[in-house]
A and B are shown apart, each in its own frame.
Chain A
Amino acid sequence: MSLVLVGTSHRLAPVELRELVALDEKGAAEVARTLAAGGWEAVCLSTCNRTELYLAADDAEAAEERAATVLRELPVLYRLHDHAAALHLFRVAAGLDSLVPGEGEILGQVRKAAEIGSPGRLLDRLFRDAVHAGRRVRSQTAISESPASISSAAAALAQQVFGDLAGRKVLVIGAGKISEQAARNLVSRGAAISAVANRSVPRGEELAGRFGARAVPVEAAQDELVEADVVVSSTSAAGFVLEQSGVQTTLGARRGRPLFLIDLAVPRDLDPSIHDLPGCYLYDIDDLQAVVAESLAGRRTEAARAEEIVADEAERFRAWQASLDVVPAIASLRARAEEIRAAELARARLGGLSEQDRRAVESLTSQIVSKLLHLPTVRMKEAAAGADGGVYADVVRDLFGLEDDAGSNRLPRQ
C-alpha cells in the first residue's frame, strides 16, 4: 500500500487560490469519508495556510488523480509519495512549514485532522508519528519559545521578571489597537488587566469593559502604579505620560515589588530614566524589536536541529512502512514450515515411541525448523529497513509458494 499526498499551501498558493479549496472541520471530514468510500484510507488537513489530502491506497496513481480532482486541479498542487509525503507531514506537524517557524497551533490541527478523517492502519500510524515528531521538536528544541511579534516579546520579557503571569496586574495606558493587542497577549498568559488609563474616559471604558477592568483618566495613571506589576503604554501624547519622579514616589508603597513597563508609543510615553530606578524595567519599541529580531534568528538556528529530529522520525516511519511488506511473508513462511513439520510428524507414525521419546522428537524437529528459518527471518527484517524489503518478501513468497494478505496480489502462485 502506498502513501499519497496532494495539497497546496501558503508556499505555493496565494490566499485567493487557497480559499478555493479551504475546508472547515465538517467539510474536511466529509471529503475524507467520500475518498475512503473507495476502499482507501483518507485524511484531510485543512488550515488557513494549507489544504492537504493524505491517502493510503494500493493504486497510488488513481488515488492521486482523485485527490487532485477534489482540490479542483489547481495549478499549484504538490504531489508527494511515501517517504517524501511522510517527511512533509512531519515537517508540518513540527511547525517547520509554517509562516512563523515553530508555531504551536498546527500540532493540534494535525491531531484533529486524523481524528475527523478516515485513517486505517497506515495513516493512523503516520499521523500518530507526526504528532510525536512535532512534540519531540517542541520539547528538544527551543523553536517554539522565541516570540515572533512585538507584543509576544513584551509578554515573554515580563515572564523573565515574574515567571507565571497568573494574577499579575496590568495597567494599560491608551485605548488604541496597539495597547489592546499587547494587553491581550499578557491576558492570554494569565495576567489580569486592572485599569485602563486614557485621555478620553468613554473610550477607555470601552476597552476596560472588554477586560473587566476599571477606566481612569490618564492623569490618574501614576496612582495606579502602586498596585500594577506591568504597565503597557501606547498613546499619541506628545510628552511623557509617566516621569521618573512620579514613578519614584510610588516605589516605597510597592515594597520592593518589580515593575515591568512596556512603551509601544512613538514618540515615547514613558520617561526612559524610569529604567534606572531599582526594580523598574522599561522596554521601548526599539528594545522589543531587537529582541524579536534576535529571537527569529534563534528560531532559524533551532529549525536546523528540528529538521534533524523530523528526518529521524520520518526514517523510522519509512522502516515501519517497509516492514508491512515483510511481516506477513515471515508469518506465512513460519506457518508453512510448521504445517509441513506437523504433517511429517503425523506421517512418521510415532505411536510406538514412549511419551518422553515422542516429546524429544517434537522438540528436535521444532528446533530444526526454527534454526533453518532464523537467518532468512533476520535477513528479511534487515531488508525491510532498506529499500529492498518488498522485493525480498516477494521472492520468499514465490520460492515457498506462500499466500498472505499483503502479498496475495503481488506474484501469482506457481
Chain B
Amino acid sequence: MQRVADIETPRSSSIPSDRAFADILRPLIDPGFRLALAMLRDRGAAEDAVQEASFTAWRKLATMRDRGRVRPWFLGIVANKCRNARRGKWFASVSLGVPEDVAIVSNEDESLRRSDLRAAVARLPHDDQLVIVLFFYLDLPLEEVASVVGLSVAATRGRLYRSVNKLRPGVDIEEAIR
C-alpha cells in the first residue's frame, strides 16, 4: 500500500473536468479511507465517510484557492464526516464492520496489545484521535496535520503532546513523536 507521505497531489488552478477531478481524487481515496477506518473502525461507515467527503470535495473544489493543499483539505473533510458519523445515533449503537476481536492465529499477546491500543485510541476525544491517526498512522508531517485540523503548527504540536500523554501517560513525548 502506498504511504500517504509519498503521494504527490496534482497542482492546478483551473476548475477540473470529471476526468481531472478523478485524477485529483484517486490518490486521496486511500489515505481518506485509512483515516476513516482508523477513526470509525467500521468498514461500511468508513466507505460512506469517504464517499460523502468526495461529494463535498467535488462541490467545493472550485472555491479552493491553493490546489497544492488538496490532500490536507480533503482529509479535513473526511475527518468532519467521521465526526458526524460518530454523532449519529445508529452508528453509536451499531457496528457491522471490522470486528474488534481479530482472529488470532498465533502470538496472542501481540494481537491483544494491538487491539488494546486501538481501543485506547478510540476512547480519546475526536480531536485527539485525529492528530494521533494523522501523525502516527498516516505519517503526515506536523505542518500538514496542522492544516487538516485547522490549527497553527505550535498549537498542533501541543495537542499532539497532550494526546500522546493521554494515550501513554508518562511516556517520553519527544521519543514518542520521533
**A and B associate:** no
Which residues of A are interface residues toward B (Cβ below 8 A)?
A: none
Which residues of B are interface residues toward A (Cβ below 8 A)?
A: none
